[in-house]
Amino acid sequence: MAAFCIVGGLACAQGGDHSVDACLPDDEIYDAVIRSFVLGVDPVFPVHPPGSPPVTMVVIRDSTHLDDVSTALEPQGRSKQQAYLLSRFGQAAAPLITGLFQATSRNDIIPGCFRVNANVRLIADPEIDSLFEADDAPGWKLFWNRYPTAQGILSLSSVAFDKDSSLALVYAGNDSGADAGKGLYIILRRGEAGWTIEARVEVWVS
């Protein structure tokens, strides 16, 4: 299980020997996604249950995942997902899409350096399985008792970059209840002020 630290008022979840001064390119993408879609003024991911306290903790699966809902439907799920994303993002995004699906098939451990204004907690699949081993409803009750100020459970893919690292593609999906969740593929562009969201495609909602 990863620990987390606070550095200069910002959160940095750490695992192993990953130091706060050794953040990787993927971490910058994750930061931009969390700031925009979890901690933003109008967050994309719904917070459940209604009336919950303000989000001060971001709970994230500690290994990379793609869209588990669509890609698990059939053996060709990933190929169909890639074709769908190509139709939405355009041909120029083809290398990013191919790279993302190749990279995330490894289910890598997320390095865990986050510079966002919230505590970050990385949780492993065994903890998630233990929470939801009975059913979704009691599982979410246990989750909210344990993490009352979280946004739910955020799943992130590996990050695919273009040749000059000016564009990136990532999947982010958040579950916050039995019928409260959303999954997005997101293209980001690097500018003078850092990474910003350029386009997104919603692939599931519950």
Alpha-carbon distance of 200 to 78, in angstroms, equals: 18
Alpha-carbon distance of 202 to 204, in angstroms, equals: 6
Burial group, residue 152, by CB count within 10 angstroms (0-12, 13-18, 19+): buried
DSSP H stretches of helix in the chain: 25-37, 68-71, 77-89, 94-104, 125-131, 136-146
The whole-model pTM stands at 0.83
Q: What pLDDT sits at residue 133?
A: 81
Alpha-carbon distance of 37 to 96, in angstroms, equals: 21
Work out the angle at residue 134's Cα, subtended by the Cα atoms of residues 130 and 140, and round it to the nearest 5 degrees. Answer: 70
Q: What pLDDT sits at residue 18?
A: 39
**pLDDT by residue (tens digit) across 137-188?**
788 889 999 999 999 999 998 899 999 999 999 999 998 887 888 889 999 9
Q: What pLDDT sits at residue 22?
A: 54
Report the amino acid identity of residue 81.
Answer: Q
Alpha-carbon distance of 185 to 173, in angstroms, equals: 9
Segments of the chain with pLDDT less than 50: 1-21, 69, 72-75
**In the chain, how many H helices and how many E strands?**
6, 9
Q: What pLDDT sits at residue 166?
A: 94
Q: What pLDDT sits at residue 61?
A: 92
Query: In the chain, what are the domain boundaries?
Result: 3-205
Q: Of the candidates 13, 29, 115, which has an alpha carbon nearest to the alpha carbon of residue 62?
A: 13
